[in-house]
Amino acid sequence: MFVDSLYAVTSSRLAVVDFDATLHAAALSLSRPEVGLLVVCSDKGVEGVLSKSDLVRLFAGAALPDSPVVHAMSRSIVSCRPEDSVHAVWQTMTARGLQNLPVIDAQNGPIGVLNIRDAMNVLFEQEEMQERMLTNYVNGVGYR
């Protein structure tokens, strides 16, 4: 299965803020319960990301709400493409300890955010289906 098959879910989690936005604007965008990662963009496309955890650490360290998000965002972005395998993306996320990953199109534009729970649910459903097929085969029912 590919990441683009989860477009309805990943697109609903997408929150984008402009490159010159403030930390206050970022906090407002991240206040939605389903949003865990903010994608920071300029006219060139994706420039960085900022997570809820990053924002909490910044404010705990006395960052000012009107500070620019560009100074707080992570510039080294781990992302995926719609044509990537969910399994491969899940492996990357677990290896790097990431909860959310931006989905980027061919023009470097954000089109969604994949949450690790979404990937795990897809992989679990695939395993359940394979188990049912194997059980049916062993029981002489055939494939259904």
Enumerate helices (H) and strands (E) in the chain, giving the number of each: 5, 5
CA nearest to 6, candidates 97, 128, 103: 103
Which runs of consecutive H residues, i.e. helices, occur in the chain?
7-12, 23-30, 52-60, 86-96, 116-138
**What is the tens place of the pLDDT at every residue in 112-123?**
999 999 999 998
Q: How far apart are CA 69 and CA 89, in angstroms?
A: 27
Lowest pLDDT segment from 33-37, 112-116, 118-122, 140-144: 140-144
Summarize the confidence of residues 42-63 as an average pLDDT.
91
Helices 116-138, 86-96: inter-axial angle, 10-degree rounding: 130
- Going along the chain from its start, the domains and CATH numbers come out as 3-138 (3.10.580.10)
pTM: 0.84
Task: Judge whether residue 128 has pLDDT over 70.
Answer: no
